[in-house]
Amino acid sequence: MHASHDDTPATESLFDAPVEVVPAAAQAPAAAQRELRVFHAADIHLGSPLRGLDAHGDPTLASLARDAPLKAFRQLIAAAIDERADLLLIAGDLLDGDCDIRTLRAAMGELTLLRDAGCEIVLLRGNHDAASRLGHALDLPSGVHELPVERPGSVHLDALGIDVVGQGFANAAVTEPLHVAYPAPRPGRLSIAMLHTSLDGSPNHDTYAPAPLTELLGAGHHYWALGHIHLREVHAEAPAWVVYPGVLQGRHARETGAHGAAVLTIRDGHIADVEMRDFDVVRWEHVTVDVSGVEDADAAIGVVRAQLEELAAAASLPTIARITITGRTEAHGALTAPRVEHDFAERVRLLTAQVAPGRVFVERVRVRTQPPLADLAAEATPDDPLGMLLARLDELALDPSPAATFEAALAPLRKLLPAELLGSGAGSSGDGVGALDDARVTATLPDVRSDLLVRMAAAVRT
């Protein structure tokens, strides 16, 4: 397959190689009537250093995580070749800054294999592989197309009946909108727009190339191939698909669960289906172990063992776990003593190697236990404030009309509360205090009593 470009000057590739311009006479006939397969990936982050893992002193764990992005990329390429994909889109951050030469050469080899299998490849730069960030590079394989960074550009895949438009990042921080200058779709073509963006903003990502969703939907393109946000998100399916495939491979404990790419099926020139496909080779998971009620560290280890066995049995891939120990326990003091907490974490790592060798690895153990609550109810006397409060709650539980009693107490407070908390009036969500009835008060009293005891006991212990 070959691609033709618009009349703008030929752009430089990601690695300073000129993009090939194929004469129109050499193009294959249009293939709009047959089924096409398009892979959409982003945020591959080849060469990501992941320095923090070295601090844990487990070379197997560090190597497993560091090699995972390239292995996941190889799985993506292998699947595209096996399924005879027509087009691979990489919507930014193929590389993670100055990628090491070994990884870079391996990645270029994978792209060459895919190109030789007859698949078109179009990519653009993101904030991590922006033009200003790469200090060394090799040429992209011939026939791999990069969208320009100085202005929007187009790649016309006449053999597929597809146009791809977009613009990459010249600098690591692009704060102005790029999409507003994209070329308009051409009639009779399936138009795919690529953009590395945070849309209207994301709490976990810097705001780059801002693009309101309404503007993307009104631009006339059929599919927006997005990158930058590391979560799988389908923001719209009509009048256009707006899709983040997410990071190809989770790289740390904030990127848990399955990851991969989006796979499009195109029939008769229209997008028939978009499927999220897993290509990761390692999974990150958060594991919370509740040791409430255990008496010592040995008993806590027993609870951890049971949960690790469950994790190992359910894991379909090697799993890197961040384990958090929670709960109110008599063992709290022992588990949180400075040296003991470190030793307990090492016991968990050793246990993991025994229970799930080669399948589960421990990235970090956090102890977040609390001391057991004092039994204040048992210690209360009729004459102390707590005893008097509990006695009053018990009286209300026996009151045949508790709602009237509560309403009298709430009357002064209602005057101070806004309408949305009252659960009545304009703008109310319906989740506020609202009108009380006897059944509601009777059902709520046990929870009120329990919550008061928990709060007061915690205050006593601290």
The CATH number of whichever domain residue 151 belongs to comes to 3.60.21.10
- The pLDDT assigned to 136 comes to 52
Helix axes 402-414, 438-461, angle to 10 degrees: 70
Least confident of 1-15, 123-137, 206-220, 255-269: 1-15
pLDDT bracket for residue 21 (50, 70, 90): very low
Rounded CA-CA distance 183/94 in Å is 24
Are 231 and 325 within one domain? no
Q: Are residues 183 and 318 in the same domain?
A: no
How are strands ordered across the β-sheet holding 270-278? 144-146, 120-124, 87-91, 36-41, 260-267, 270-278
pLDDT of 379 above 60 = yes
The C-alpha atoms of residue 87 and residue 194 are separated, in whole angstroms, by 13
Would you call 269 helix, strand, or coil by DSSP?
coil
Q: Is the pLDDT of residue 232 over 70?
A: yes
The answer on 31 and 125 residing in a single domain is yes
**Chosen domain end from 278, 310, 332:** 278
Distance CA 212, CA 219 (A): 11
Is residue 358 located within the same domain as residue 393? no
How many domains in the chain? 3
Residue 26 above 80 pLDDT? no
Structural domain ending residue among the three candidates 261, 278, 295: 278
pLDDT at residue 285, as a whole number:
95
DSSP strand pairing (233-236 vs 260-267): unpaired
Asked whether residue 203 falls in the same domain as residue 310, the answer is no
Q: Which residue shows structure tokens 């397959």?
A: 1
Q: Are residues 94 and 55 part of one domain?
A: yes
Q: Is 70 exceeded by the pLDDT of residue 450? A: yes
Mean predicted confidence (pLDDT) in 8-20: 38
Same domain assignment for residues 85 and 199 = yes
Q: How confident is the model at residue 211 (pLDDT cuts 50, 70, 90)?
A: very high
Which has more pLDDT, 139 or 208? 208
Please give the pLDDT value at position 337.
86
The pLDDT of 20-43, averaged and rounded, is 64
Domain shared by 211 and 331, yes or no? no
| Strand pairing category for 360-370 and 319-328 | parallel
Using DSSP, state whether 321 is helix, strand or coil: strand
CA distance 316 to 272: 30
pLDDT confidence of residue 16: 41
Last residue of a domain, one of 309, 338, 370: 370
pLDDT at res. 139 = 72
Contact at 8 Å (CB) between 229 and 91?
no
- Lowest mean pLDDT of 257-261, 347-351, 401-405, name the range: 401-405
Q: Are residues 262 and 403 in the same domain?
A: no
Higher-confidence position of 384 and 357: 357
Average pLDDT over residues 217-237: 97
Each residue's pLDDT tens digit, 127-145: 999 988 875 555 789 999 9
Query: What is the pLDDT, as a whole number, of residue 348?
Result: 94
Answer whether residue 371 shows pLDDT above 50: yes
Residues 242 and 300 grouped into a single domain: no
**How is residue 17 annotated by DSSP?**
P
- pLDDT at 397 (0 to 100): 79
Least confident of 7-16, 200-209, 254-263, 317-326: 7-16
Same domain, 167 and 34: yes
pLDDT given for residue 10 in this prediction: 40
- What pLDDT does residue 460 have? 58
Mean pLDDT value of segment 217-241 = 97
**What's the rounded Cα separation, in Å, for the pair 327 and 369?**
5
- Which residues form the domain of 335? 283-370
Residue 8 has pLDDT above 90, yes or no: no
Mean pLDDT of the chain: 84
Give 55-87 pLDDT, tens digit per residue: 566 788 888 888 999 999 999 999 999 999 999
Within 212-337, residue ranges assigned H as helices are 213-217, 297-314, 332-336
- Quote the percentage of the chain above a pLDDT of 90: 57
Assess whether 228 and 312 both reside in one domain: no
Please state, in angstroms and rounded to a whole number, the distance separating the CA atoms of residues 93 and 173: 13
| pLDDT at site 124 | 95
pLDDT for 62 equals: 85
